[in-house]
Amino acid sequence: MQTILLVHGIVAVIAVVWMVVVAVRQHGRERRAAELLRFHGNVEGPPTLHPVIDADVCIGSGACVRACPEDRALVIVKGRAHLAQASGCIGHGECLTACPVDAITLVFGSARRGVDLPDLDPHFESSQPGVYIAGELGGMGLIATAVRQGVKAVGAIADSLKGSPSGADTLPLVIVGAGPAGIAAALTARERNLRFRLIEKEPSVGGAVRSYPRGKVVMTTPAELPLYGRVHLRRTTKAALIELWNDVLGRGEITPEFGVSLEAITRAGDDLVVATSTGPIVARRVLLATGRRGRPRHLGVTGEDLAHVRHNIDDPTEHDGERCLVVGGGDVALEAALALAERPDTQVTLCHRGEAFDRAKPALQDRLRIAEAAGLRVLRGAQVERITDGAAAVATAGGVEQLAIDTVFVLIGSDLPTELLVASGIRVQTHRGERVPLGAR
């Protein structure tokens, strides 16, 4: 009897100790989550797809946190889920399907921060009949999502053209943009035996990836490419990803027409006339997969048109030994500043008009803190007032500072090519937190 009591006592002690350990760990997680929420919780959601949690419905199961592939985007505080770091969300949507009580809604924009997007139906056709849009231009920045949309859009296009043969001088499909959505669309067209042309204004493939600094780690999720198979990349480099796209195009026997830019789309009866820099193309359908990075935002200051002012960075090694000013507070700006700071004898100043880099991904913020401690200069609450040959005037809390600069990188985002879309008969709407149908993903 005493032996049984002793065993029960030992088991009870172990259970209590285990419960205490679990409680302490849970308390630590809750405390860190609460600190994260206090620091970042007042930041508006990203302009891309992101979740809104109904606190009255949420039961705090944590399923959304576990399902989220990004670090520290969602947290549980006081038994409820919260979007703690909006910058960490890039529109996977895994949280939506994981939630057991349907407490999550996926939205674009917010009441305070609207985002302009073209109107699309569930098949990705715009308000201009025959013109389809896939990928980042439609608000989806995730590579795997862009691939799925390119596949679905061309599938819908092929179905819409059944029983409606094109004339000898009319092409069934023109695909504009050789990024992930455009490449997936071209593969699907090849698989469906649909004649097409793939045009790209840049000299190479890659889409938005081209604007990343060389060596940048790109986060992707698995994607299924027609005629190629499943691509599963969690962490890779810009060079490796572009090499992959070239391999995909080679296997699919697809040759993009590089250096060809879209100028306008007009209607001619049932056909569409695609005006390009190399001449017009008459087509039955057009798929726009151009992304949103074709029109970089400008500071609007004197000297921004000088030759040493750039709106992208390709190879940081080209700036070894230079004095570089990077302007911006998002992922691209931080990536560029960090990549440049790693180069020998390169002096880097990062200038951001905000006091915190709360729109950059958590991992980038961590890296920035380390780099700043190692010598990367960061100007917060600062704005460039003027750029001249070899210098830039920056307004800070302590007054206007003159910086000796060899190259200025203005990396403050890009604007939707609204004029081109509207001129092509495509409606553009400002979204302020409206629910996104599941089919749009």
pLDDT of residue 10: 74
- d(CA 380, CA 282) in angstroms, rounded, equals 51
CATH value at residue 366:
3.50.50.60
pTM of the model: 0.74
Classify the phi-psi angles of 172: left when phi > 0, otherwise alpha if psi is within -120 to 50, otherwise beta. Answer: alpha
pLDDT value of residue 115: 77
Closest listed residue to residue 412, CA positions, set 346, 354, 372, 343: 354
- C-alpha Rg value of the chain to the nearest Å: 25
| pLDDT of the residue at 40 | 47
Say how far apart CA 109 and CA 95 lie, in whole Å.
18
How many domains, in total, are found in the chain? 3
Residues 96 and 51 in one domain: yes
Q: Do 215 and 143 belong together in one domain?
A: yes
- Nearby residues of 105 by Cβ (< 8 Å), 6 or more positions away: 51, 52, 54, 96, 435
Q: Tell me if 189 sits within 8 A of 312, measured CB to CB.
A: no
pLDDT of residue 41: 47
304 in any annotated domain: no
Contacts of residue 411, Cβ cutoff 8 Å, sequence gap at least 6: 311, 312, 313, 326, 327, 328, 330, 332, 333, 336
Nearest partner of 311 among 215, 413, 218, 209, judged by Cα? 413
- Spatial separation of the C-alpha atoms in residues 353 and 362, rounded to whole Å: 19
Q: Is there a single domain that holds both residue 74 and residue 145?
A: no
Contacts of 264 (CB under 8 A, 6+ apart): 274, 275, 420, 423, 424
pLDDT at residue 114, rounded to an integer: 73
Residues 422 and 337 in one domain: no
Which residue intervals of 234-389 are DSSP H helices?
238-251, 331-341, 362-373
* pLDDT number for residue 236: 74
Containing domain of residue 326, as a range? 309-410
pLDDT given for residue 139 in this prediction: 77
Domain contains 303 = no
* Residue located via tokens 């990536």: 335
Specify the 3-state DSSP secondary structure of 174.
strand
Q: How far is CA 217 from the centre of its chain?
A: 13
State how far Cα 276 lies from the chain centre: 27
Residue 58 lies in a domain: yes
Does residue 171 share a domain with residue 287? yes
Domain stop point among 73, 108, 143: 108
Write out the chain's pLDDT in tens, 441 residues: 667 767 666 767 776 666 666 555 555 555 554 554 444 444 555 656 788 889 899 998 889 988 887 766 788 888 888 887 666 676 667 888 889 999 988 888 776 767 788 888 889 999 999 999 998 888 776 788 889 999 999 999 999 999 777 677 899 999 999 999 999 999 999 999 999 999 999 888 876 676 666 666 666 677 889 999 988 766 677 788 888 899 999 999 999 999 999 999 999 998 999 999 999 999 999 999 988 765 788 999 999 999 999 998 878 899 999 999 999 998 889 999 999 999 989 999 999 999 988 778 778 889 999 999 999 999 999 999 999 999 999 999 989 999 999 999 999 987 778 888 888 999 988 877 767 655 455
